[in-house]
């Protein structure tokens, strides 16, 4: 067991910087230290923890399983210390008229924000929320310059100064209309592959998770329609024999609203994260911290 009395707690700051930057040199720049000083600190931390913590991977440093398990407790501990040492200042949200700009796709608009806005109207009626939809390239720039305060996305935003925290984990559910004559009580693999699918247009060049899982088996979906937004999918499913596969929470909402039937996807896909993303420039801002904490609390209860 690690004895905290004998441990230099500055090593935890070095750990946090390396984990965020995935690079000794970039961590050194972030901490305004020399590269040898950061390397030496990492060596001492490895000896203390009894684990390599980070291993060379290409040009960067990949965290070990032990480092991944330590990341959140260490980040939380550092946050507590930083808040405790900061001069007394608080965000008076109940009386604030501040506007926050949040970049989300239709998943966040449908699953996360409605409950938050409902709570906000009673707890902080003066606060305004503006929703933006941005490409990854624009999002990086706008988070840096403060045009956007916060983002929700399926993908980590890489680069110096970006914070990515898993707010939710999701799985997939398939939707079909109740009277679809081509679907029974359960959705078999043969049934799934024989039916025509409506899918959302991929935002990245990589293959969607479900298609990767099928490809590993040498299988492929029959895609008949590609739409730009999730909301288009249940409308199409309700009025046709096409089926659509969506993240679980949004699928259940649409199933209720459009009176659709839900099915377990007949091919295993791992759960996937929804990330909350912000830039270091607002990390210590009391209002921004309040916003992040409220949204994370809401997501944990969703």
Under 8 Å between Cβ of 196 and 241:
yes
Class of domain 93-169+273-301: alpha beta
**Lowest model confidence (mean pLDDT) among 28-37, 81-90, 217-226, 280-289:** 81-90
Name the CATH code of domain 172-270 (choices 3.20.20.140, 3.40.190.10, 3.40.50.300, 3.30.1300.10).
3.40.190.10
- Residue 151 CB contacts under 8 Å (≥ 6 apart), including other chains: 102, 103, 104, 134, 139, 143, 157, 276, 277, 278
Burial class (CB in 10 A: 0-12, 13-18, 19+), 111: buried
Instruction: Report the pLDDT value the prediction gives residue 97, as an integer from 0 to 100.
Output: 87
Domain boundaries, the chain: 4-85, 93-169+273-301, 172-270
> pTM to 2 decimals?
0.66
- The residues near 284 (Cβ < 8 Å, ≥ 6 apart) are 82, 86
pLDDT per residue over 97-144, tens digit each?
A: 888 999 988 888 888 888 889 989 999 999 999 888 766 668 888 888
Segment 184-241, tens digit of pLDDT: 899 999 999 999 999 998 877 778 889 999 999 999 999 999 998 888 999 999 999 9
Task: Please check whether the domain covering 4-85 is classified as CATH 1.10.10.10.
Answer: yes
Q: Do domains 93-169+273-301 and 172-270 have the same CATH topology?
A: yes
């Amino acid at each position: 067991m690690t004895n905290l009395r004998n441990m230099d707690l500055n090593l935890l700051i070095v750990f946090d910087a390396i984990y965020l930057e995935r690079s000794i040199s970039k961590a050194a720049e972030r901490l305004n230290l020399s590269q040898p000083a950061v390397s030496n600190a990492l060596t001492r931390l490895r000896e203390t923890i009894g684990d390599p913590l980070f291993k060379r991977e290409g040009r960067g440093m990949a965290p070990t399983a032990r480092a991944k398990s330590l990341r959140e407790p260490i980040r939380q501990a550092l946050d507590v210390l930083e808040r405790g040492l900061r001069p007394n200042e608080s965000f008076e949200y109940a009386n604030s008229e501040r506007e926050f700009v949040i970049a989300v796709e239709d998943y966040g608009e449908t699953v996360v924000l409605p409950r938050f806005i409902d709570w906000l109207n009673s707890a902080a009626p003066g606060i305004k929320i503006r929703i933006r939809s941005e490409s990854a390239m624009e999002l990086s720039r706008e988070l840096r310059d403060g045009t956007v305060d916060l983002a929700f996305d399926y993908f980590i935003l890489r680069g110096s100064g970006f914070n990515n925290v898993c707010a939710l984990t999701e799985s997939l559910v398939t939707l079909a209309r109740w009277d679809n004559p081509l679907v029974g009580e359960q959705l078999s693999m043969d049934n799934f592959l024989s039916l025509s699918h409506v899918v959302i247009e991929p935002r990245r060049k990589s293959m969607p998770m479900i298609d990767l899982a099928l490809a590993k088996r040498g299988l492929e979906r029959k895609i008949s329609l590609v739409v730009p937004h999730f909301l288009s999918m249940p409308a199409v499913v309700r009025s046709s024999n096409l089926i659509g596969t969506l993240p679980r929470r949004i699928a259940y909402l649409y199933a209720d609203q459009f009176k659709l039937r839900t099915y377990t996807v007949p091919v295993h896909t791992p759960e996937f994260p929804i990330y909350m993303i912000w830039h270091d420039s607002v990390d210590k801002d009391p209002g921004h911290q309040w916003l992040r904490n409220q949204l994370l609390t809401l997501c944990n209860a969703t």
